[in-house]
Each structure stands twice: as structure tokens, then as C-alpha cells.
């Protein structure tokens, strides 16, 4: 459907509720070509992932929105590729009144479809076509109206000081509230968005605004540039009387020829509270660009403080939405809150590469998204504020996760997601804090440069695409040149709990010390955990002080019991967690413990 037909569909609406369907008059489709396979008519609604065989390639979305109304209207075109003929297509839609649905074939043939919603939890819906669609390309067209959500999901309304604002929160599976879609992370496509809104409103989307022109009386039609391929949960929109603060462009670099326009948006009266977050954005983003060795992917960057928001922030590509307390600062903001704002901001910026540019295939790997962003937020802050002790943050995060990870019911990091209802269970301390701590541990073991080489390789291998944890581990192994890291990483993400190491330090000969390490699963007193039921491949690092000086040894512990000889003499003391970055607990003998206490001032802050 071209833009003229979009205009015709929307211009006739006197109000949002009066929006009517449009489209080509249904033509009389012919029969499927002779010899073509029988069309697919999957009967059982999918509980989790949609069936394979239908791949979305691009979205064109035209919305008419008014924050003062109760509902909005939409018209969406979805270019798809069908691997085989289809008489039925499954997709997602929640709380939408579908006014018209059809498919348009490349030759212009229009095939009407019947929409049936709520076939399974999570808005699983279906389109049944009057005549089966042939294999190959087609365009799905759906016009609809839908209410604004009041539960901070999808395209929702927030009210502050008797003023209405619109914002979006799509993750995990709420893009389907704003637009009928194939709402899964494995589907990454360009989105072209047009929004018609009352004059005087700010309208912010993922792409840069390329045109704004008057529509019917009192309305303005805003057209936005087509995005790079993004997943549906990163689609963003904000509409309302937001106050705008324009910051200085983030300057061009050797990686990126063009500067990045930077703006902030907040509710009426709060514009000045955007200043500090905007002012530090260039330092954060430039450091992250250098770390990834990949230019910021999304052209412009908008920071939006929504009047109400369910989470801390959401990493929408090029249009990040924040809870007000996670972005706005003034002279009364406490140090603790300020640190929280900065780490949240660095977290969301880090997602622009890890999570947005490269995306998990399915929700079982959302831990990697969030763990990585958690880890790099601390690393970013340590780079821009080296005196802030941000290097201790991933250690503290790991320690805070150990409470829930000590339970017999603890889940593994990479947890199976079999149904839509399982997805939100993955957003917890195990994902963010344990996951970030585990990444910090592997960086320490491999070395900063080798670990970063793996990250950079991963960005280039999977840019604008999807990847799972196995892909990530292989990129780290290939980039670092240490293939054994794959099985070690797997042992940490595929089983719950905390390794507990008994570290015995002995001196069997005057010129040769020995460390004997026995591993088990940590079990609190009275727990039903079987401590001997699991073995990890632990990227062990210990700090040794003795006749040969102060050094760190690293060795992969693959067995339940490992002996590490110390050539050159007996150790004065052994710190069984060098730099404190290992995700494990340890016990050690009284002699070594007393020696560590005596050497307390020699230990690092992490230790």
C-alpha cells in the first residue's frame, strides 16, 4: 500500500474512533498454481515461538494518535516471505479491533483474510485467507483501532498534572498491543513509521523525523526515516506536550563520519533536569564506540523521561525511554541516586550495540543482553570516572545475587522459555547480577584485550542480526584464541548454584608449595542441596605471595579435585579469588586465613 492510500485511510477520520478501514477492493483471486504444494494450515495455536515458514521482511506503520483521546488508529503493511503456500498465518495482536485484513501479492492481487484473535495466551492470533497465499513474497495489510493501555505496556497513556502523554514499553511482548506483528526477537526488520498527531505535540520515534506537514484541521503528519533492522520490542513512540532540550551533537570520529544529534524530552516543567544526563552522554557513547570498534548504529539519539514508566529504562533503538527518577537530576539528587542514574544510562547505551545491533534469537538468551549491559555499564563508568570505584560494582552485584543463587530452587542463567508466560521470569537478579558477574569473571581470566577482541568479533559477525549464547561463546573463544572457554562458560550458564572451593595450601618440600582445590556446590546450613551433584569448569585465578614475589596464577579447574604445584618455594599466603572477580565462594585453612588477615592491607579492594 502506498503513502497516498495511507493518507486516504486516515484523513477521513473525524475522531480516532471514526477511523475506517481501507485497501484495494478485493479482487477475485485465482486458484493456486497447478503442482503447488498443499497450503499450510497449522491448527494448534503456538504457545511460544511462532511457526517457521513466515518471515517478516519490513513494516510500514501509519498511526493516528491523540493523547487526549482514549484510542488510536493504525494501518500496517508487513512484507513477508513465505517458504511454502499458506492458507493460515499466525501472528500477534492484543486488544485490537481489526477493521480490515488482506494480503497483496506482487502482481497486485488482493486476497481478503479473516482475523481471529486470542487463540492462545499472549495475543496469539491468526489470519485465514479466502484463497491460499503462494510461496514467496506477499504484503499483509491490516487496519485497526485500539485503546491506549493504562498499565504502562504497549502504547500507553500517562497522566501528570492533569496533562496526557503517550509513551511505549514493548519489551517483552507488548509491541503487539500497538501493532499487529510478528512480535519475537528473532525477527529483525526495518520499520518505517508515520504518525499523525495534534499540532503542537512532540512526536518522537526510532528514526529521525524527515518531514512534518499539516494534515486535516489541527493535525500534523510526521514522517520518520526507515530504521535499520530492529526487533519489534525496540520500536518506540512518544507523543505529547513534552519539553525538548537540544544538546550539542556528539562529534564525528574516525569510526563515524557524521555527528549524532542528541536531544532530551521530559514532562512540562522538567526540561532543565535533563541537563546532567545529556552532558555526560557523549563521554559514555564515545568510549563505548571505541570499545566495540563499531560506530553508534542508529543515527540520532533521543532520551525520553516518561511521566510514568514501569521499569528503570528501555533501550529502544535511538529513542531510549526512562523512568523520570532514572534520568532526571538536579542539585538535590543524592550521590546514591546519581550513581544509579549514571549506571542506568550507561546500561541503556551499551544495549545499542549488545541487544539492539546484535539480538538474542529467543528469550532464553535475554540474560546475555541484560548481563552484558549490566557489566558494560560499570566498565563505562569506570572509564569516564576512574576515581568512582566502579570496578567494584560487578563484584558487589555478584555477591548480591548469591542469596537467591544459594537456594535449592535457584534457576540456571540460561533458562528454558517454552511459553509466552515464562518470559518475564527471566528478568531477575540471576540474569542481571549473576550474569554480569560471570562476564566480569571471564574477562578477568582471559584478559581485557582478548575478551574485547571476542566482543568486537561478535559485533561484526552478527551486526543487524540475531545470535544465541552459543554464538557468543564461540566469538569469545575465537577472538581470544582460547577455545576451552566455551565449555567453561557453558558450565556456568546451564546449571544453577554457586561453586564452593575448599582451597588447601601446603608445603610438601622447602622449595615447592602446593594448592589443592576441591569443588562442590555451595549449600547453606540446613539446605537440601546435594553439594556433590555438580561440577563446574571454573576459570580459577589466585593471587600468590611468596619467595618468587607477588603473582597471579590462572588455571581452568575441570575436575572435582585439582592440584596446582607452586615451583620456587612455599607460599606466604594464597588469595583464592584474585581481584575478587571470580563467581565462587571459598574456604581455606586456618594458617592461610591468618596469613591473609595479616596481609590485609596488601589485598585489593575487590579481594
Up-side HSE of residue 469: CA atoms within 13 Å toward CB? 27
Alpha-carbon distances of 461 from 17, 340, 457, 472, rounded to whole Å:
46, 33, 6, 10
Task: Assess whether 348 carries a catalytic annotation.
Answer: yes
Within 8 A by CB and 6+ apart from 3, the residues are: 194
Quote the CA–CA distance of 309 and 329 in Å, as a whole number: 17
Within 8 A by CB and 6+ apart from 36, the residues are: 85, 134, 135
Characterise 198 by phi-psi region: left (phi > 0), alpha (psi -120 to 50), beta (else).
beta
Quote the CA–CA distance of 155 and 239 in Å, as a whole number: 10
Decide: 104 and 138 in contact? Cβ < 8 Å.
Answer: yes
Decide: 569 and 512 in contact? Cβ < 8 Å.
Answer: yes
For residue 286, what is its C-alpha cell? 564515545
Nearest-5° angle of CA 87, CA 88, CA 89? 135
Decide: 494 and 505 in contact? Cβ < 8 Å.
Answer: no
Of the candidates 523, 527, 464, 504, the residue with the CA atom closest to the CA atom of residue 587: 504
Phi, psi of 217 (to 5 degrees): -50, 120
Quote the CA–CA distance of 266 and 344 in Å, as a whole number: 17
Phi, psi of 60 (to 5 degrees): -125, 115
Alpha-carbon distances of 314 from 101, 228, 454, 500, 600, rounded to whole Å:
31, 18, 26, 36, 42
Q: Looking at 412-484, list the stretches that DSSP marks H as alpha helix, in order from N- to C-terminal side.
A: 429, 435-446, 448-462, 469-480
Q: How many other C-beta atoms are found inside a 10 Å radius of the C-beta of residue 589?
A: 14
Burial of 38 by CB count in 10 Å (0-12 exposed, 13-18 middle, 19+ buried)? exposed
Residue where the block lists cell 533492522:
229
Find the helix or strand (DSSP H, E) in which 6 lies.
helix 3-11
Residue where the block lists cell 518475564:
424
SS3 per residue for 552-580: EEEEEECCCEEEEEEECECCCEEECCHHH
Up-side HSE of residue 318: CA atoms within 13 Å toward CB? 26
For residue 34, what is its C-alpha cell? 497447478
Which among 184, 223, 348, 370 is annotated as catalytic?
A: 348
Nearest-5° angle of CA 505, CA 507, CA 511? 130
- Active-site positions? 348
Amino acid at each position: 500500500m502506498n503513502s497516498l492510500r495511507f493518507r486516504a485511510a486516515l484523513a477521513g477520520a473525524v475522531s480516532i474512533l471514526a477511523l475506517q478501514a481501507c485497501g484495494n477492493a478485493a479482487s477475485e483471486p485465482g486458484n493456486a498454481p497447478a503442482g503447488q504444494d498443499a497450503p499450510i494450515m497449522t491448527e494448534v495455536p503456538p504457545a511460544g515461538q511462532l511457526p517457521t515458514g513466515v518471515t517478516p521482511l519490513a513494516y510500514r506503520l501509519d498511526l493516528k494518535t491523540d493523547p487526549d483521546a482514549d484510542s488510536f488508529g493504525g494501518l500496517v503493511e508487513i512484507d513477508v516471505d513465505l517458504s511454502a503456500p499458506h492458507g493460515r498465518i499466525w501472528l500477534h495482536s492484543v486488544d485490537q479491533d481489526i477493521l480490515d485484513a488482506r494480503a497483496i501479492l506482487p502482481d497486485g492481487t488482493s486476497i481478503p483474510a479473516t482475523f481471529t484473535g486470542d487463540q492462545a495466551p499472549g495475543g496469539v492470533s491468526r489470519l485465514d485467507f479466502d484463497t491460499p497465499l503462494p510461496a514467496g513474497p506477499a504484503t499483509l495489510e491490516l487496519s485497526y483501532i485500539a485503546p491506549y493501555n493504562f498499565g504502562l505496556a504497549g502504547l500507553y497513556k500517562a497522566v501528570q498534572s492533569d496533562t496526557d502523554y503517550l509513551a511505549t514499553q514493548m519489551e517483552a511482548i507488548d509491541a503487539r498491543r500497538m501493532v499487529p506483528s510478528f512480535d519475537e526477537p528473532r525477527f529483525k526488520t526495518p520499520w518505517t513509521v508515520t504518525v499523525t498527531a495534534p499540532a503542537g505535540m512532540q512526536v518522537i520515534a526510532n528514526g529521525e523525523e524527515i518531514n512534518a506537514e499539516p494534515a486535516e484541521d489541527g493535525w500534523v503528519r510526521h514522517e520518520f526515516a526507515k530504521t535499520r533492522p530492529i526487533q519489534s520490542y525496540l520500536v518506540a513512540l512518544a507523543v505529547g506536550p513534552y519539553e525538548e532540550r537540544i544538546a550539542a551533537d556528539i562529534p564525528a570520529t574516525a569510526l563515524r563520519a557524521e555527528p549524532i544529534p542528541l536531544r532530551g524530552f521530559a514532562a512540562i516543567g522538567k526540561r532543565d533536569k535533563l541537563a546532567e544526563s545529556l552532558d555526560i552522554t557523549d563521554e559514555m557513547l564515545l568510549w563505548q564506540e571505541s570499545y566495540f570498534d563499531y560506530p553508534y548504529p542508529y543515527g540520532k539519539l533521543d532520551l525520553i523521561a516518561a511521566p510514568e514508566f514501569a521499569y528503570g529504562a528501555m533501550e529502544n533503538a535511538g529513542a531510549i525511554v526512562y523512568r523520570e527518577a532514572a534520568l532526571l537530576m538536579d542539585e538535590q539528587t543524592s550521590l546514591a541516586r546519581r550513581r544509579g542514574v549514571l549506571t542506568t544510562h550507561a546500561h541503556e547505551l551499551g544495549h545499542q550495540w549488545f541487544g539492539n545491533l546484535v539480538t538474542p534469537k529467543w528469550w532464553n538468551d535475554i540474560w546475555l543482553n541484560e548481563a552484558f549491559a549490566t557489566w558494560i555499564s560499570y566498565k563505562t563508568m569506570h572509564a569516564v570516572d576512574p576515581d568512582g570505584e566502579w570496578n567494584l560494582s560487578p563484584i558487589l552485584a555478584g555477591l548480591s545475587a548469591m542469596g537467591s543463587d544459594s537456594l535449592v530452587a535457584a534457576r540456571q542463567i540460561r533458562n528454558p522459555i517454552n511459553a509466552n508466560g515464562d518470559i518475564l521470569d527471566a528478568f531477575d537478579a540471576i540474569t542481571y547480577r549473576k550474569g554480569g558477574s560471570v562476564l566480569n569473571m571471564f574477562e578477568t581470566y582471559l584478559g581485557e584485550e582478548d575478551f574485547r577482541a571476542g566482543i568486537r568479533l561478535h559485533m561484526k559477525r552478527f551486526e543487524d542480526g540475531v545470535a544465541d549464547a552459543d554464538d557468543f561463546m564461540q566469538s569469545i573463544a575465537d577472538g581470544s584464541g582460547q577455545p576451552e572457554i566455551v565449555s567453561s562458560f557453558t558450565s556456568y550458564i546451564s546449571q544453577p548454584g554457586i561453586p564452593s572451593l575448599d582451597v588447601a595450601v601446603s608445603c610438601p618440600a622447602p622449595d615447592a608449595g602446593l594448592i589443592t582445590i576441591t569443588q562442590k556446590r555451595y549449600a547453606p546450613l540446613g539446605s537440601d542441596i546435594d553439594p556433590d551433584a555438580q561440577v563446574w569448569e571454573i576459570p580459577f585465578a589466585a593471587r600468590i605471595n611468596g619467595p618468587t614475589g607477588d603473582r597471579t596464577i590462572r588455571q581452568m579447574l575441570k575436575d572435582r579435585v585439582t592440584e596446582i604445584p607452586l615451583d620456587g618455594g612455599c607460599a606466604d599466603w594464597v588469595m583464592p579469588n584474585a581481584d575478587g572477580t571470580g563467581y565462587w565462594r571459598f574456604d581455606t585453612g586456618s594458617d592461610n586465613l591468618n596469613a591473609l588477615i595479616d596481609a590485609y592491607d596488601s589485598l585489593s579492594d575487590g579481594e
